[in-house]
Amino acid sequence: MKSLVSLLAFATAVPLAAQSVDTAGAGRLIDQAMNRSEVMGNLQHLSDVLGPRLSGSPAMRRANEWTAGRFKAYGLTAALEPYQFGVKWERGPASLRLIAPFSRALTAHSWAWTEGTGGKTLAGQVVLADLSTPESLAVNRGKVKGAWVLPRAAYPVWNPDGPEMTADDSTRRAEQLRLRGLATADTSAAAVAARRQFTVDLPYILKAAGALGTLVDGGKEHALMTMSGSPNRVSPLPNVVISNEDYALLARLIAAGVKPRLEGRIENRLGNQPVQQWNTVGEIRGSEWPGQEVILGAHLDSWDLGTGVTDNGTGSMVVLEAARVIARSGLKPKRTIRFVLFSGEEQGLLGSRAYAEAHAATADSIQAVLVLDNGTGAITGQALQGRKDLEGLWKQLLAPVASLNADSVREASKSGTDHLSFLPYGVPGFNFDQLRRGYNHTHHSQSDTYDKAVEGDLKQAAAVMAVTAYQLANLPELLPRGPKSPVVPVPSRPSPGLAVGP
Ligand SMILES: [Zn+2]
């Protein structure tokens, strides 16, 4: 039935060649964005003053309220839309120390949504045990008792000083997938679901087998960390990220027959009841078709080792700035433009999934969703996300920003951010291409701080988002829908028999 609906949408939509983009107004929007910008002041307040915005934390709520206030100050209506998030997690102190073959403190941070050491300091040997599949776990399960576990070999660190390129670097991604054995893995829905369930189950299996904790390779150069975690993948034993240098040191010692030992004490707090979170939604009501809308989106939440600037203070403050630019320009879009600052993105697109589900009944009235989430870099253009039929349209939409070098249109499908949540509903969804600007260093690391923001790039990005959103709001017709597909549930609970509690 769903596929029939989408076929009809394709069949009855006005051919795109007949829809010409009205570029009048672009000049005013670009002038407002480039010459009267407030993006840096807003970004500094968000990152330096409100700080990192871990979903579920008080800072996340403060950021929701502050951004709603900013939208209102710019003349928009704004509201917080709630959704069920999952359990809270609070980071406590963590200390991890190498105690053999020599003594040295390691820089270590708890992976999010993992337990601590239960008020104890846990000392044990470090073992390397490939735990990447049920088969390798079966072979190595006997090694983990009383040990801190490296679950895979150290990654070689990708050279980050290569040429400037967009953040969607397919070569690097392909190499990571190859190293994780996923490049050749079965991609059937059942196999993907089984792999996800295995990652949920694994820490429970390791705890039952007597492991002290697991270690994560920071995977970056010069002791930069990376951070992730989700209430959908709670770990009942500590999981701790350490630098690539230290991870590789431990792996080398083991390979050389030296038995390294660690002691660790970690104090995290994991909630036991699901809590609400909120997306901040600002709105400029359409003058002719208020029931139809263009969505500009970015996630307001962040990881908490830095202050969440390039991921994604920049994107969310550019969306706020695009709202200011359109409102202050005096232009009146024909369709409603909604500016949605999602939370829960870092835990698995939870806020945008909830938003798309809550608005599913009116998904056919969403003209398009445009997301910005690849760092501080200037927008270079658009990736078509499987919508080759919209190539000509995107070239028209970006023509007014050609002078800002934002007019590339390429066939690529980008992963990992909030536009994905809308695709199953047939909504055209896109994530702009951007210059890299060191995103591979700052992403999820302690160096994701305000000094990395590039002012000229953020002004440019706000101009591009405002111009494209305004033009889409004024197109004569709604865009043809993409193919609709079922929303795939994310496994969040361990398999029966494993959840015995910490
Ligand atoms: Zn992000």
DSSP 1-14: -HHHHHHHHHHHSP
Residues 6 or more apart whose CB falls under 8 angstroms from that of 317 comprise 39, 42, 43, 46, 458
pLDDT for the residue numbered 12:
47
Tens digit of each residue's pLDDT (9 = 90 or more) over 325-372: 999 999 999 999 999 999 999 999 999 999 999 999 999 999 999 999
Tens digit of each residue's pLDDT (9 = 90 or more) over 365-411: 999 999 999 999 999 999 999 999 999 999 999 999 999 999 999 99
pLDDT for the residue numbered 491:
76
Evaluate whether the domain defined by 2-88+273-474 bears CATH number 3.30.70.20: no
Going from the Cα of 88 to the center of ligand 1, the distance in angstroms, rounded, reads 20
4 confidence band (pLDDT: 50, 70, 90): very low
pLDDT at 500 exceeding the cut of 50: yes
191 confidence band (pLDDT: 50, 70, 90): confident
pLDDT for the residue numbered 489:
82
Q: Which of 81-95, 183-197, 207-221 has the lowest mean pLDDT?
A: 183-197
Going from the Cα of 28 to the center of ligand 1, the distance in angstroms, rounded, reads 30
Peptide bond into 312 cis (omega under 30): yes
- Indicate the residue type of 418: D
C-alpha to C-alpha distance for 475 and 203, rounded to whole angstroms: 51
Domain topology for 92-267: Glucose Oxidase; domain 1 (3.50.30)
pLDDT for the residue numbered 426:
98
Of 335, 475, 489, the closest CA to residue 13 belongs to 475
pLDDT at 167 exceeding the cut of 50: no
27-41 average pLDDT score: 98
pLDDT for the residue numbered 221:
86
Going from the Cα of 415 to the center of ligand 1, the distance in angstroms, rounded, reads 11
Strand ranges, E, within 19-118: 77-90, 94-100, 104-106, 108-110
pLDDT for the residue numbered 300:
98
70-74 average pLDDT score: 98
9 confidence band (pLDDT: 50, 70, 90): very low
Does the fold of domain 92-267 match that of domain 2-88+273-474? no
pLDDT at 5 exceeding the cut of 60: no
2 confidence band (pLDDT: 50, 70, 90): very low
Count CB-CB contacts under 10 A for residue 127: 20
443 confidence band (pLDDT: 50, 70, 90): very high
Tokens 């950021």 belong to 63
In 299-423, alpha helices (H)? 314-329, 350-358, 391-398
Residues 6 or more apart whose CB falls under 8 angstroms from that of 243 comprise 106, 107, 218, 220, 223, 224, 225
Going from the Cα of 480 to the center of ligand 1, the distance in angstroms, rounded, reads 28
Q: Which is more confident, 221 or 450?
A: 450
Calculated CA dihedral for residues 57, 59, 61, 62, nearest 10 degrees:
160
158 confidence band (pLDDT: 50, 70, 90): low
Strand ranges, E, within 129-268: 147-150, 213-217, 239-242, 261-266
233-245 average pLDDT score: 95
| Token couple for 198 | 């295995």
187 confidence band (pLDDT: 50, 70, 90): confident
pLDDT at 67 exceeding the cut of 80: yes
pLDDT for the residue numbered 11:
42
pLDDT for the residue numbered 492:
80
Asked if residue 306 lies in contact with residue 226, where contact means CB atoms within 8 angstroms, the answer is no
Going from the Cα of 382 to the center of ligand 1, the distance in angstroms, rounded, reads 17
Q: Which is more confident, 7 or 269?
A: 269
Tens digit of each residue's pLDDT (9 = 90 or more) over 241-275: 999 999 999 999 999 999 999 999 999 999 999 99
Going from the Cα of 419 to the center of ligand 1, the distance in angstroms, rounded, reads 11
What's the burial of 497, exposed, middle or buried (CB within 10 Å: 0-12/13-18/19+)?
exposed
pLDDT for the residue numbered 189:
81
Going from the Cα of 303 to the center of ligand 1, the distance in angstroms, rounded, reads 9
Where are the chain's structural domains? 2-88+273-474, 92-267
pLDDT at 42 exceeding the cut of 80: yes
pLDDT for the residue numbered 496:
86
What's the predicted TM-score (pTM) here? 0.92
The average confidence (pLDDT) of the chain is: 92
pLDDT at 14 exceeding the cut of 70: no
Going from the Cα of 345 to the center of ligand 1, the distance in angstroms, rounded, reads 7
Going from the Cα of 354 to the center of ligand 1, the distance in angstroms, rounded, reads 17
Angle subtended by helix axes 314-329 and 26-35, to nearest 10: 120
Going from the Cα of 53 to the center of ligand 1, the distance in angstroms, rounded, reads 12
Going from the Cα of 392 to the center of ligand 1, the distance in angstroms, rounded, reads 28
Q: Which is more confident, 165 or 215?
A: 215
141-151 average pLDDT score: 97
Of 469, 477, 482, 480, the closest CA to residue 336 belongs to 469
